[in-house]
Structure 1
Amino acid sequence: MKFTHHEDQPSAANNLREKMKMILILAIPAVIENFFQTTLGFVDTYFVSKIGLVEVSAVGIANALLAIYFAVFMALGVAANVFISNFLGANQQEKAHHIAQQAIIMAVFIGILFGVITLFFAEPLLRLMGIAPNVLEAGSVYFRIVAIPSVFMSLMFVLSSILRGSGDTKSPMIVSIVINVVHALLDYAFIFGFSFIPALGFVGAAWATVIARILGTVGLYFYIKRSKTISFKKKYWKIDWKHQWELVTMGSPAAGERLVMRAGQVVYFGFIVALGTNTFAAHQIAGNIEIFSYMIGYGFSTAATILVGQQVGATKFDEAKHYAKLCTFLSVIFMTILGVFLFFFGGWTGTFFTTDTKVLEEIKVALQVSGVFQPFLAFVLVLTGAFQGANNTKFPMYLTAIGMWVIRTLFVYLLGIRLGWGLLGVWIAIGLDIFVKAIVLWIKFTKGQWIISKTDSKKDPESKCHPQTSKENMSCCPNNY
């Protein structure tokens, strides 16, 4: 019985509890995984900050470009996650197996391609940021080490998404915990030296990251091989161009969304660099602290993508909407609590990275602004995941493009540079972008204009396959291609 039926209140209450339990079962491991993934960047920044602020900026600039690579890898992961959850929700397990293996093939190809691009164009790409020569030299060394073996980054994103799409968020969590513990130990040993290991400085941080990603790839592959839901079959390793195109079609808008965001980020990073190396270092440190708040949003976003995807695959659109709402409101509660912490104690966390009083003050101001916008960030992250689970990857892309270029980048320049508000203006601009996106996503969601059936057509905008369509009319929405 659906939760929307009120004639049997105890059953409705039990249904709600079961749904919340299911969300937490999926979200909590994803939150823990995100936490340990986040510590990978946090540990790098913490240890590198002990060397100097130039090195912090170099790693930050390299990671800003690396985020563009992540955008493509994550988009492929989103496509794999959505297709697998849709197929499993429709009880089409063989199709889930097939698309999973095709996603791995594409991940290998894309990873190698980005590695080659890094090998030949690392410095020209970094010069686009307009950074100082000393930062460029250090950044190019770090960037080459971590990005030439991009195939391991690509595989980690896709293998994790395959497991999540099958409803397994625990295995990626376990792998994340293990590799981040290993990463932290290697970071310390390689950066500062230990026993027979020489001190490599910030270069050591790069090598520690690469080794951790290799171990992560092996671990995730091991868990997939053991999975009862997703298993590899020899016949599915042959390239299937139809499935490859479907992955591209589904993943391209998600990639576009992230690429638009990263491209805009490169531009406004250039504005921040113009404010000075120390200000950019403060921005980078604040970002590494604030990103811990994202782990909650992304955890519930993961749950939303899986559950919405399964319900859409089973053509249970009302259930999909209810799961999306619950995921959103749970995330808002947790992220609001974290926002309060950032507002009152965020500045204190900056003392772990630097003793420079000016930099510490800028970190404090940035995190106070971030704390205010945390509830709206919860809406953006979780509803984006819900839209993707509902096969709607285009709308978040359009919204991100408008938000990044019309609001964020423009207001970073106006508030941060023209009005001279510095880092305060930068973070207010980021907050305004988040606020507008949250409002627009919620309006679109509440109006029921967020689910796209696989049978939807541009020629038939009034398709009966609408989220509000009754069960009796769902026969028009087949679960196959």
Structure 2
Amino acid sequence: MMSFGLIDTFFVSLLGTEQLAAISFTFPVTFTVISLNIGLGIGTSAIIGRLQGSNDLTLSQHYATGSLMLSAILVGSLACVGYFTIELVFSMLNAPVLLMPYIYDYMGLWYLSSVFLSLPMVGNSVLRACGDTRTPSVVMASVGGINAILDPVFIFGFGPVPAMGIQGAALATLLAWCVGAFWILYLLAVQRKLMLPRLLSFTELKASSSEILRIGLPAAGANMLTPIAGGVMTAVVAAYGPAAVAAWGVGNRLESIASILVLALSMTLPPFISQNVGANKIDRVKRAYSLTLKFVLFWQFTVFVIMWVLSTWIGAAFAKEPEVSALIQLFLMIVPLGYGMQGIIILTNSSLNAMHRPMSALALSVIRLFVFFVPISVAASYLYGLKGLFWGTVIANIAMACVSVVVFQRAITQFDASDVHNERK
């Protein structure tokens, strides 16, 4: 999933700084749509997993069908709004007028592709809830490979295919996600029979949607806050010029790849926690949470060292202009230092969702982004420039990680108290 943004960014960077800056402005917007899918996937996984566990396979098929229909409807609606507000939204992000044609070229097709993106994302949640984690990996890797092959063909042209520039990157994404959408529908409806081979009636859709949204909406809201805050930060970075925005965009896409193991753990830790909470084995939850956090701190520090060592080479690979390359290098030598703490934040939120506390996770996301991340980074930027902004993100992650651990410990303590109360009864 993350490879799409990184590969698009790499090939678009070969077109020039303006095109790279333009695609960097799109990141907060595209991730907002992706975050909605992530939230719906969380709700879908929780409901389908429970139904599969209780062997209610018929109802599970209805909910799987409803989740895919719901995701297509909600994402399609958001994409329509986004398409007709491109100029308004990107003007609010401080995108210069000269970049608007590039942004229109990219986002016009990307919004269409987002509807097809929703189906494999939520469909993969159905497969994982049914115990299959391998097939989603195969689907995502294959679709990412298709995008990687088509990107240079459509961006630079090949044979009868004309060079389309930045619009070619969006077209490659659209075609790749079309393949993913039809593939996942075939797997679920025909091969595995995990969903119905028909559309639900309005009454059926309404019944299945309410429970999915009960968990999915808070989770989606928490995820969508991240790109909203990212949009604010992009607007702040835009004051330093297109080169700074280009470097910020590259850094954020590299961050997604650098945090890939944390994101994987955020999908595998919650089912473990949910099962052990349900079995009243709270000690196992504590040990799993503690062990995972220790591992993430060690792993992400190793990632920081690697990125610091390779920062010069990475900067040169993603930018022709020395100024952009130098700013990418500066980003990679500072911001990844906070990735371990960011991992603690992500895993704590996913753990709270697994403990059926989505509102607590949402509250932590609000605090993280609008009490720590944005205010500290903006203040540091005002005092120390772009370098200060980078250090501000590190400081904000450290502060929020401490808050996250305290909140989780209190939640676990309440579970312990509840167990003691039940035993006395």
**TM-score, scaled to structure 1:** 0.81
- Contact 1:107–1:158 at 8 Å: present in 2 too? yes
Q: Deviations over 1:279-313 (max 9, x none)?
A: 11111112222221111100111101232234445
- Contact 1:190–1:201 at 8 Å: present in 2 too? yes
Q: Which amino acid aligns with 2:148?
A: A
- 184, 204, 209: which one pairs with 1:244? 209
Equivalent residue, structure 2, for 1:231: 194
Deviation at 1:381, TM superposition (A): 2.0
Q: Does 1:188 align with 2:152?
A: yes
Deviation at 1:89, TM superposition (A): 4.6
- 391, 410, 414: which one pairs with 1:447? 410
Q: Deviations over 1:310-362 (max 9, x none)?
A: 44455554444444444433333322221221222233212111132222222
Equivalent residue, structure 2, for 1:368: 333
Q: Does 1:60 align with 2:21?
A: no
Deviation at 1:467, TM superposition (A): 4.7
Q: Which amino acid aligns with 2:342?
A: L
Distance in 2 separating the partners of 1:94 and 1:314: 26
Instruction: Identify if the C-alpha distance between structure 1 residues 346 and 68 changes in structure 2 by more than 3 Å, giving closer, same or farther.
Output: same
- Contact 1:300–1:328 at 8 Å: present in 2 too? no
Instruction: Identify if the C-alpha distance between structure 1 residues 257 and 472 changes in structure 2 by more than 3 Å, giving closer, same or farther.
Output: closer
- The aligned runs of 1:155-304 (5 Å cut-off) are 155-225=119-189, 231-233=194-196, 237-238=200-201, 239-304=204-269
Q: Which amino acid aligns with 1:425?
A: G
Deviation at 1:388, TM superposition (A): 1.6
Q: Which amino acid aligns with 1:344?
A: V
Distance in 1 separating the partners of 2:274 and 2:152: 41
- The aligned runs of 1:88-127 (5 Å cut-off) are 88-89=52-53, 92-127=56-91
Distance in 1 separating the partners of 2:84 and 2:336: 41
SS at match of 1:195: coil
Deviation at 1:83, TM superposition (A): 2.3
Q: Deviations over 1:86-139 (max 9, x none)?
A: 444555555543332221121121122123223422222222212111112211
Distance in 2 separating the partners of 1:101 and 1:259: 24
Distance in 2 separating the partners of 1:227 and 1:296: 30
Instruction: Identify if the C-alpha distance between structure 1 residues 251 and 373 changes in structure 2 by more than 3 Å, giving closer, same or farther.
Output: same
Instruction: Identify if the C-alpha distance between structure 1 residues 395 and 432 changes in structure 2 by more than 3 Å, giving closer, same or farther.
Output: farther
Q: Does 1:425 align with 2:393?
A: no
- Contact 2:277–2:355 at 8 Å: present in 1 too? yes
SS at match of 1:231: coil
Q: Deviations over 1:202-252 (max 9, x none)?
A: 111110011111111122223334676x72246993424243122222122
Q: Which amino acid aligns with 1:205?
A: A
Distance in 1 separating the partners of 2:181 and 2:152: 22
Instruction: Identify if the C-alpha distance between structure 1 residues 378 and 226 changes in structure 2 by more than 3 Å, giving closer, same or farther.
Output: farther
Runs of at least 5 residues in structure 2 that lack an aligned partner in the other structure? none
Distance in 2 separating the partners of 1:268 and 1:59: 15
Instruction: Identify if the C-alpha distance between structure 1 residues 206 and 334 changes in structure 2 by more than 3 Å, giving closer, same or farther.
Output: same
Q: Deviations over 1:169-228 (max 9, x none)?
A: 211110111111111110011111111111111111110011111111122223334676
- Contact 1:89–1:314 at 8 Å: present in 2 too? no
Equivalent residue, structure 1, for 2:4: 40
- Contact 1:303–1:327 at 8 Å: present in 2 too? no
Distance in 2 separating the partners of 1:420 and 1:322: 41
Distance in 1 separating the partners of 2:275 and 2:58: 15
Instruction: Identify if the C-alpha distance between structure 1 residues 382 and 393 changes in structure 2 by more than 3 Å, giving closer, same or farther.
Output: same
Distance in 1 separating the partners of 2:190 and 2:418: 39
Deviation at 1:74, TM superposition (A): 1.5
Q: Which amino acid aligns with 1:308?
A: I
Distance in 2 separating the partners of 1:91 and 1:317: 25
Deviation at 1:50, TM superposition (A): 0.7
Instruction: Identify if the C-alpha distance between structure 1 residues 306 and 227 changes in structure 2 by more than 3 Å, giving closer, same or farther.
Output: farther
Instruction: Identify if the C-alpha distance between structure 1 residues 291 and 436 changes in structure 2 by more than 3 Å, giving closer, same or farther.
Output: same
Equivalent residue, structure 2, for 1:23: none
Identical amino acids, percent of aligned pairs: 21
- 387, 394, 403: which one pairs with 2:352? 387
SS at match of 1:386: helix
Deviation at 1:430, TM superposition (A): 1.8
Distance in 1 separating the partners of 2:211 and 2:72: 17
Distance in 1 separating the partners of 2:347 and 2:197: 36
Q: Does 1:145 align with 2:109?
A: yes
SS at match of 2:15: coil
Give the paired residue count: 423
Q: Does 1:434 align with 2:397?
A: yes
Equivalent residue, structure 2, for 1:134: 98
Q: Does 1:78 align with 2:42?
A: yes
Distance in 2 separating the partners of 1:291 and 1:305: 20
- Contact 2:244–2:327 at 8 Å: present in 1 too? yes
Instruction: Identify if the C-alpha distance between structure 1 residues 338 and 111 changes in structure 2 by more than 3 Å, giving closer, same or farther.
Output: same
Equivalent residue, structure 1, for 2:343: 378
Runs of at least 5 residues in structure 1 that lack an aligned partner in the other structure? 1-36, 451-461, 477-481
